[in-house]
C-alpha cells in the first residue's frame, strides 16, 4: 500500500449509481438502526504468498454491494471473522468526528489474534474510516442525537476446506445512518440465562466475533418469551459470577457511591463505552471497582437496600438503565431512578463529548471529515 500525507492511500472507485439526493433524504428522515447503507465501502485485501509471507494490499473505496465469494470460502465453513462498531457524529460546524477509534483498532487486533486473522495496522483502520466518511459525508445525519454507524469487519475469503488460518482475507467497512438515541430512555427488564452460557474460559468471549453473538440468540429468544429486551449471562464455573449481557457490559452503583463492573476475565468484551464510563466516573470522584460480582451479591444488595442503580452500556444505546432482572425464581427490582441518576448523568456527558457539546478533556475525539 502506498502512503500519502494523511496515511494510507486508498484508490477511489466511486459508484456510478449513488442514491439520489431525494432517496438519501427519505432514508435520513427515518434511518432506524442498521436498515440502510451508504453508497460506498472501504476494502483492503490480505494475502499470504508462496513463501508464507503475508501482507495487506489494494486499499480502495468502492461501491457498496454484494461480495463475490467462493462457496468454499473459509468464513462460511469455519467462522473465521471479526467486526467492530463505532459512530461518526456531525458537529454543529458541519465537521464529522468519531469517538476513540484507536481503542476500536486495538480491540479489533485483539480479536484478530484470537481468531488467527492478520492484524491490521491501526493507521489503516482509522484511515479506512476517514476515507469512507469523506466520500459518503452526505449520509451523516444532521438531526439531534443521530449518527453514522461504522461497521469494520474482517472475513477469511480463501476457498478451501481445511482447518487452518486462511491465506486470503478481506477487511471492509460499511456505514449505516442511525436514528436518535437521545430520546426518553426507560429502564428495561432483562432475563437471567441459567441454561445457556455466552462464553467459556479459554474461548472467544473477549473477541468481537459473530460466533459469540450467534451463540447468544437462543438465550435472547428465551428472554423475549419472558418479556425482556436483553439477556444476562453468568459464569457457572465461578459461583455464578455476573459477566455481561448479550451485547452490552453491565454496571452496579451502590448507595455508598461505589460503581462496580465485572472484571475483564477473558470472557468479557473490552467495551470502549465501558472503559469510558470508568474514566468519567473516576473523574467525578466515584469509587470505581472492576471486580467479581455474583448473582448472590446482587440479590443481597436488593434485599438490604444498598443497590442504587444498575445499567448496561454499549456503542448503540450508549447507556440504558436496568429496572428489573427476571429469573425463574422471581424478580430483582432496582429502585426507581432519581432525577439526578449517575447513569443518565454520565450518559449525557458521554454523548455531549461525542457530539462536540461537552469539552473533550481526554482527547477521545478524532476528526474524520
Average model confidence (pLDDT) across the chain? 94
Rounded (5°) CA angle 73-76-81: 95
Q: Are 177 and 28 in contact (CB under 8 A)?
A: yes
- What is the rounded distance in angstroms from the CA atom of residue 24 to the CA atom of residue 11? 24
- What is the C-alpha end-to-end distance of the chain, expressed in Å? 22
The CA-based diameter of the chain, rounded to the nearest angstrom, is: 66
Contacts of 62 (CB under 8 A, 6+ apart): 13, 40, 41, 43
Cell matching residue 239: 459461583
Which residue reads 441459567 in cell numbers? 194
Residue 5's pLDDT band (boundaries 50, 70, 90)? Answer: very low
* Cα 23 from Cα 16, distance rounded (Å): 15
DSSP 8-state assignment for residue 73: B
Percentage, residues of the chain above pLDDT 70: 97
339 pLDDT tier (thresholds 50, 70, 90): confident
pLDDT in tens, 209-251: 999 999 999 999 999 999 998 999 999 899 999 999 988 999 9
Half-sphere exposure of 303 (CA within 13 A, CB side): 7
Query: What stretch of H or E contains 326?
Result: strand 318-327
Could you tell me the pLDDT band of residue 185, with boundaries at 50, 70 and 90?
A: confident
**Strand 258-261 relative to strand 249-254, pairing:** antiparallel
Residue-wise pLDDT tens digits, 90-118:
999 999 999 999 999 999 999 999 999 99
Amino acid at each position: 500500500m502506498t502512503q500519502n500525507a494523511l496515511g494510507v492511500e486508498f484508490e477511489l472507485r466511486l459508484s456510478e449509481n449513488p442514491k439520489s439526493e431525494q432517496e438519501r433524504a427519505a432514508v435520513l428522515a427515518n434511518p432506524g438502526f442498521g436498515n440502510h447503507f451508504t453508497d460506498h465501502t472501504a476494502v483492503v485485501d490480505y494475502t499470504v504468498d508462496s513463501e508464507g509471507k503475508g501482507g495487506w494490499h489494494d486499499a480502495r473505496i468502492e461501491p457498496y454491494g454484494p461480495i463475490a465469494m467462493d462457496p468454499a470460502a473459509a468464513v462460511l465453513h469455519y467462522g473465521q471473522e471479526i467486526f467492530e462498531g463505532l459512530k461518526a457524529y456531525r458537529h454543529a460546524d458541519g465537521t464529522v468526528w468519531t469517538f476513540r477509534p484507536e481503542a476500536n483498532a486495538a480491540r479489533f487486533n485483539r480479536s484478530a489474534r484470537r481468531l488467527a486473522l492478520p492484524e491490521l495496522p491501526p493507521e489503516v483502520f482509522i484511515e479506512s474510516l476517514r476515507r469512507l466518511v469523506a466520500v459518503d459525508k452526505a449520509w451523516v445525519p444532521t438531526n439531534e442525537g443521530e449518527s453514522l454507524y461504522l461497521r469494520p469487519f474482517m472475513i477469511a475469503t480463501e476457498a478451501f476446506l481445511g482447518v487452518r488460518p486462511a491465506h486470503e482475507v478481506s477487511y471492509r467497512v460499511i456505514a449505516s445512518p442511525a436514528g436518535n438515541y437521545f430520546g426518553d430512555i426507560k429502564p428495561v427488564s432483562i432475563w437471567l440465562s441459567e441454561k445457556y452460557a455466552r462464553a467459556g474460559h479459554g474461548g472467544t468471549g473477549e473477541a468481537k466475533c459473530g460466533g459469540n453473538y450467534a451463540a447468544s440468540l437462543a438465550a435472547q429468544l428465551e428472554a423475549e418469551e419472558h418479556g425482556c429486551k436483553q439477556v444476562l449471562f453468568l459464569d457457572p464455573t465461578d459461583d455464578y459470577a455476573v459477566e455481561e449481557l448479550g451485547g452490552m457490559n453491565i454496571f452496579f452503583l451502590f448507595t455508598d457511591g461505589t460503581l462496580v463492573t465485572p472484571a475483564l476475565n477473558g470472557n468479557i468484551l473490552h467495551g470502549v463505552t465501558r472503559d469510558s464510563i470508568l474514566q468519567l466516573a473516576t473523574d467525578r470522584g466515584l469509587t470505581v471497582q472492576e471486580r467479581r460480582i455474583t448473582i448472590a451479591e446482587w440479590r443481597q444488595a436488593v434485599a438490604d437496600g444498598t443497590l442504587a442503580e444498575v445499567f448496561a452500556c454499549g456503542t448503540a444505546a450508549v447507556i440504558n438503565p436496568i429496572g428489573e432482572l427476571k429469573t425463574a425464581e422471581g424478580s430483582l427490582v432496582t429502585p426507581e431512578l432519581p432525577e439526578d441518576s449517575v447513569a443518565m448523568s454520565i450518559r449525557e456527558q458521554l454523548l455531549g463529548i461525542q457530539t462536540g457539546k461537552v469539552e473533550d478533556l481526554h482527547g477521545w475525539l478524532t476528526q474524520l471529515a
